[in-house]
Structures are given as structure tokens and as C-alpha cells.
A = this chain, B = another copy of it.
């Protein structure tokens, strides 16, 4: 973005003239952060594979106890052996708003042999070497006077998503140490199956709607912007899937005897797919982008994101980006139409000289709030029929083969709340509150992501609670989440506690 625009934005934030409340001192934040590290290391030693109920139960008990200790009223919300934790701080005198913090205790499954440490459940402290590798150092150094912010703790869920829970507790500790109360009432919900796509979250919320009642949802999860600047994420795209099959001859045919006679479904598929997308990447299906527009301030917010697209394209190995939006952030505001898999007969050593019997394209559609998946899939159907295809369900009958020269099926995948697109208005009060907290902590506006491209199961909670939400990611972008050698940078840990303490101190106007 241009410097002038950035200046204007900062000026606008200042001009808003939000009162700045007393936040805990840096020393107090540092003290509380340091004190919390032992709890973090302790809970990282508890295995938390989403699939293992007994382990999830132990984590729930641990977090319940840690929150009890801090004066929360806590309960385990039953969930088929994998309870979620709900913790509610006693009402804050004078507070008119309630914020529900969401995070999750569970982690991805692990393959211990792949990790460069004894066990993913035995966290270790590491320091980066000159050659870029990581060397283990004594864990005790973590508890010393000034741990190096570049050190990292390696272990499953070190970043995703146990650190943010401990960081929130540390921020509350910092306030308490200085006799400060948070500016809003606080509730915390800890999910137990996020890594499985939160299949049970909507149900558990609906069963506990009164207890979970809040004015806003803050999701403490996910990585910060690659620049590692404080980040707010106001939405995420949803995802829907469909399988497109083009039917050719009733079985693979000899390509010598029938090449030039029986239409090849791989070519027919190519012609159909080519009709759906322009070479510049824009979807040609009529109505696909209907209803999507941004005003100038929104465009400015997206332009202000410090994406290094030259570096991004280099990392992805592509010379140029598609032309769906004017920049990366804008491109994520539109629904996508993606071929995630394509096959007709075989390639490589298994290839035979045949006219294949069929061609299959697996599609995924990233959706945005303006474009519910049902509508996009209907537009796709209309488009396919407009290209002369007869859409059928399943394998064609001999009669259908005899009647229709272009036969296809489009089988929709299931659509759930946890795969839906959700977005909070950048101008919603929750946004002002968070921006002000970040501004006060860091002296500059946070990176604001209007809507991220990927799908997170936030939609299940948002749809059940019907409140505005914002994702506040705090962990380093290169944390290897879901993979081997997951890690959390100490500097991000300390900075995140500071951000949270500042936010919790801001009055919500």
C-alpha cells in the first residue's frame, strides 16, 4: 500500500479517539508470562490426539483445574467421552458486554518417529543454529531471567492450540497482579475435537446456549500473518465439494479402432472445464461472483496487509497470480472453483492405448458469505446443462447412452456448518475493541485480514451462537502446525500475552 493510505488509516484509528484504559505494565505482563511457562510445558506433556477420548478427558481435567485456580466457574460439557470445558469469570462490576473466548485442547495425531525429539508429548526447548537447524538446549533455561525470544518450544500443540489458552490465562494473571479487572465479562470454551473439524461443536453449543451467551466470539487459534505482525482475522471462506463425471463409451475402447469415432471423455471434460474458467483464473459460470463488492475503505484494508507477493509467488513456484482479485487478499474474498483431482484411465507405466470410458474431476468450491454452496452448485449444474450435457445420477443406462451424446453427473458432497463461510464486518464494535487493544500494546494498527482463504470450523460456533466473531491468531506462521516438529516461538508467546492483556484492559464502547 502507499504510505499515504497507511497514514490515513492510522490517523482514522487515532481520530476515533477511543479512551485508553489502564493496562498492566510490561513488567507485570512479563512476570505473568514467565510464571505461566511451567503450566504450558506441563500441559504439553499430556497426549491430546483428538481420536483418543481418555487423553482428551485428562486435558479437560487439567484445563478445568487451571481455570478453577484463577477463580473461574468451570464445568465439563459432556461430549461422548470427550468433554469440552466451559469457564466463566464472575461478572465484572460495570461491564456491559460478555466476550466468549474459543480455543481447543485437542491436537493432530502424531508419528513420533518423524519428530526430531524423544516424543511429541515431551516438549523440548531449541535454539536455531547458524546452518538453520535446531539444537536442543536445557529446558530449565526457559525459566531463567531473560529467555531468548527466538528460542522455540517444540511439541504437539505447543502452538496449535494449547499456547493461546495458557497465554490468555497469563494475561488475566497480569491484570489481577495489578488489581485490574477485565473490561468485559469473560467466558472461555475449550473445544475437544477441533482437529477433526469440530463435528460436535454446534451440538454442544446448542445444548448449552444460555451458559455460552455472549456478545462476541474471540477465536484464539491459527498462525499470525507471515510478517509476524499482530493480526486480526475477520472471517474465513467455507468449502463445498462435488464430483463431476463425464461418461464416454461403456468401457475403455481400443484407441486404434475407435479413435476418431467414439468421443473421448477426457477431451469432453477438458472442453467443459475450459468453459468454466478463463485463462486468467476468473470463473465463467454465470452468477458465480454475484453480490461480491467492496467499498473503498475495505479495499484499503486489504491493500494494507503487508503481503510480500513477489516472495509468495517465488515460494509457490509460479510466475504470476490469477486475476480474480487485484491482490492476494482480494482474491480470497471470492468463491473459488478448484479441480482438486482429475483422472481418466491411467498415466505413466499403467497407461494403455484406450479411449477411456469416463473422466472424473473432483471439485472443491471455497465459498464466501455472499455465495452459499447450494447456490454455487446449482449455478454449476445450470452451466453444465447449458453446455449441452444431460445430467444424470450414477452410471448411465443403455437407454440414456443411446439418447444423449453428452452425459455427466455432478454429485454433491455434504455441506456442514463447520465448513461454512463466516465473516464479521470490519466496522463491528468487536473490531474497534480489538484494534484499540492492539494499537495500545504496539503503537501501530494490527494486520487486518478481512477473510482468510482457508476454511476453519469457526462457522459451527458462529452459526450456533449468532454473534460477531474475530480470530486473534498469536502463534508464529512457521510453527509446523499439524506436522512433525510443531513449535512455538517464545517471542510470539510473550507478545501474545501482551496483546491479550491490552485488549482485556480496553473499555468496549
Contact = CB atoms under 8 A, between A and B. Distances in A.
Interface of A: 237, 239, 241, 243, 248-251, 253-264, 266-277, 279, 281, 313-314, 316-322, 324-325, 328, 331-332, 334, 336, 338-348, 350-356, 359-362, 364, 366, 388, 396, 398, 401-405, 452-455
28 contacts: A248-B318, A249-B316, A249-B318, A254-B453, A255-B340, A256-B366, A257-B332, A258-B316, A259-B364, A259-B366, A259-B453, A261-B328, A262-B316, A262-B318, A264-B339, A267-B277, A267-B339, A270-B271, A317-B401, A318-B405, A338-B353, A340-B356, A341-B350, A342-B343, A343-B344, A346-B362, A347-B361, A351-B362
Contact of A281 (B263, B328, B344, B345): B263
A341 B336 contact: no
Contacts of A258: 316, 453
Contacts of A452: 256-257
B260 A314 contact: no
A392 to B, nearest CB: 13
Given A267-B339, A319-B405, A260 B281 contact: yes
Given A255-B364, A271-B279, A260 B322 contact: yes
Contacts of A320: 405
Nearest to A243: B347
A366 B331 contact: no
A343 B346 contact: yes
A454 to B, nearest CB: 3
A257 B454 contact: yes
Contact of A341 (B344, B398, B455): B344
A317 B398 contact: yes
A412 to B, nearest CB: 14
Contact of A322 (B239, B261, B454): B261
A259 B332 CA distance: 8
A237 B313 CA distance: 46
A377 B7 CA distance: 58
Contacts of A249: 316-318
A373 to B, nearest CB: 14
A352 to B, nearest CB: 7
A359 to B, nearest CB: 6
A344 B266 CA distance: 12
Given A267-B273, A314-B402, A319-B404, 10 more contacts: A257-B453, A260-B332, A271-B279, A317-B401, A318-B401, A319-B405, A340-B345, A340-B353, A341-B350, A341-B356
